[in-house]
Structure 1
């Protein structure tokens, strides 16, 4: 039986304003962050040297929603133990249960009520844990549906990590997400965020599939006309910033993007990960 890990930090088991926005609510902050799996033997960049920087970055940014990629079980635990207690984490390992990398979602439980949560695998058998069809590794998508405690606005937040080796797998994964989104069937008026490490550029087929005008997703960076900037750094911060983002924040529904940032800063001389975190701010559109 499926059992998604839902944990809070107190108990661990296991600028461009658009004209049609609601001005009374603060911006919704969404963060996608590939934190690099914690058993990697990166000389000078092992998890024990980076973990405080990862937590510090999240704490400082104080986002409403965070999508973590490559997070192993013990990394999730450390983040929850050291992050502000208002956050709840939802996720499952890509090999099933608590095993393997998670595409975890953190959300601010002081602001949002969890309505439902689930996950599926990016394969021909998406409900079978650890399944893989198009690539050599299982890939997972985690999603949550929440309500804003104050406004009752509904959000569907999705987080994933695409294959790093297979064009076919990435293309099939994009198609799978759109298909499963139909079955999730969020109510009309739901704001949907899809974020993650997509391991491909905005000029790729998967991006085109997800942002097809008939499907309704929009790319925050492109909507705002923000400069394209690399989001993978490989722990090398001395290269030119010019490059292509492979970590995206996509959106649809009654929401307007306000800001987009690729956060290249070190924390006390430490790069938190081999990917830069990406932060986007949004305002809810006034609905008729």
Structure 2
């Protein structure tokens, strides 16, 4: 049996109260239009607020960022879910470890497809946002989420989405893709972008570009291309994405 669904991971960049072309008031409609255009079954957001998932500060404090998971209720239904902190105390809200700049979280949901035969076909989505400051915190956070994934029944498919704040040729990327070890553990995931049969934008080199998009100077483009060539010897994964969908 095979099923098909569309998944989007989207770092909304929180509302910092700034004014100008990059303010949330200016970007909001554009973000809504992008989501409406692609109409994903599953939408994982970072630096957003609401729907399923706790804030970084816990159950009774919704003032901080979430790693929310939105979903099309006509296609899937939620059967279970939760949030844990990427720290040495995963069940303690707002906890931090390993030099992290802020509390980091992972939200997970188990979904069941509607109208699929045989009934009861389920899968899990994990959404995270790794620390932007500490490489060690990113590595240990990735290890913690991978340990969560491996604790699941082997027959349960998993989608691992989020803003990882690092490229796939980093230690985090190599670990999750099964190319290096972290504390004696090796990941075993596949990058959806690299394995996609068709891409909406084959020219997309990176997902963080400081609001510049494709409109960059020649020198900056040359530096970006050189960095991509130096980092990624395997042409199938030649990119500098910091936002991934793994499975």
Local SS of the residue matching 1:120: strand
Check conservation: 1:195, 1:248, Cα contact below 8 A: yes
Q: Is 2:184 the partner of 1:220?
A: no
Q: Which residue of 2 aligns with 1:179?
A: 147
Q: Which residue of 1 aligns with 2:26?
A: 49
Local SS of the residue matching 1:119: strand
Partner of residue 34 from structure 1, selected from 4, 7, 11? 11
> Normalising to structure 2: TM-score of the pair?
0.79
How far apart, in 2, do the equivalents of 1:245 and 1:153 lie? 31
**Which whole-Å deviations, capped at 9, do the CAs of 1:222-276 have from their partners, x for residues lacking one?**
334876711012111312485511101000xxxxxxxxxxxxxxxxxxxxxxxxx
Partner of residue 210 from structure 2, selected from 227, 234, 239? 234
Matches within 5 A, 1:2-151: 22=2, 25=3, 27-41=4-18, 43-71=20-48, 73=49, 76=50, 89-97=51-59, 98-134=62-98, 135-151=100-116
**Which whole-Å deviations, capped at 9, do the CAs of 1:1-42 have from their partners, x for residues lacking one?**
xxxxxxxxxxxxxxxxxxxx73xx5x3101000010012526
Check conservation: 2:206, 2:242, Cα contact below 8 A: yes
Greater fraction strand: 1
**Which whole-Å deviations, capped at 9, do the CAs of 1:145-179 have from their partners, x for residues lacking one?**
01001123211001010111111111111111112
How far apart, in 1, do the equivalents of 2:112 and 2:246 lie? 19
Return closer, same or farther for 1:30/1:211 CA change in 2, 3 Å cut-off.
same
How far apart, in 2, do the equivalents of 1:43 and 1:172 lie? 37
Cα offset for 1:201?
0.6
Check conservation: 1:154, 1:189, Cα contact below 8 A: no
Q: Is 2:185 the partner of 1:189?
A: no
Q: Which residue of 2 aligns with 1:155?
A: 123
CA RMSD of aligned residues (A): 2.1
Cα offset for 1:59?
1.2
How far apart, in 2, do the equivalents of 1:169 and 1:66 lie? 25
Cα offset for 1:99?
2.6
Q: Which residue of 1 aligns with 2:136?
A: 168
Cα offset for 1:216?
2.6
The alignment of Structure 1 onto Structure 2 pairs a total of residues equal to 211
> Normalising to structure 1: TM-score of the pair?
0.68
Return closer, same or farther for 1:147/1:42 CA change in 2, 3 Å cut-off.
same
How far apart, in 2, do the equivalents of 1:202 and 1:188 lie? 24
Structure with the greater relative contact order (CA < 8 A, sep ≥ 6): 1 or 2? 1
